[in-house]
Amino acid sequence: MKKLISYAVVLLAAISLAGCGTQKDASVDLNGDWTIMELTGLDETVSLEGNFFQFDSEEGLFFAYLGCNNIAGKYLFEDPSLTFSDIARTEMACDNMNSEELFCYLIEQVALCSVTEEGFLQLKSAEEEVLITIKKVEEVEEVEIVVEEQTEEPVEEQTETPAENQ
């Protein structure tokens, strides 16, 4: 009976820990390439296609591109706290810069982050409002290509010259 109660307690503890629905306790690896999936407040007709977001955890830098200008700056991550600073961007003028303008505004408001069950990283305000949702780019498995050296057979030299056309 004691054994059954012990199993029940362990099972209840496991269920209560797993029942949170988030992976907050899991360590978040920011380093690498991400795709921006959603910007809160962006008109649904504006495409985010071709964007990227990159964290360089070794240097504490981030880089982003939303179709026009390059955006870069510093970040500090102490899970769940995430802040961005020294944000700079190139100054090209493009037709539709709505997503870029909104991104630059939102990134300055980020104070926290969390990972969803689907694996998205949500960048949140201090009030825990989701501002930006990004998804890690799956790394492509490197494939080794082996090229075999082909040996050429010696070509015999022509000793006859072709007949001239008359």
- Pair 39, 132: CB distance under 8 Å: yes
Q: Which domains does the chain have, with CATH numbers?
A: 23-136 (2.40.128.270)
With 0.85 as the threshold, say if the pTM is over it.
no
Q: How confident is the model at residue 15 (pLDDT cuts 50, 70, 90)?
A: very low
60 vs 8: CA distance, rounded Å: 45
130 vs 38: CA distance, rounded Å: 10
166 vs 163: CA distance, rounded Å: 9
| Tens of pLDDT, residues 42-75 | 988 888 999 999 999 999 999 999 999 999 999 9
Mean pLDDT across the stretch 98-110? 95
DSSP per residue, 74-137: EEEEETTEEEEEEEEE-----S--HHHHHHHHHHTT--EEEE-TTSEEEEE-TT--EEEEEEEP
H or E segment to which residue 37 belongs:
strand 32-39
pLDDT score, position 6: 45
| CA distances, 19 to each of 13, 86, 130 (Å) | 10, 38, 21
Whether residue 7 has pLDDT greater than 60: no
- Pair 117, 22: CB distance under 8 Å: yes
CA terminus-to-terminus distance, the chain: 112
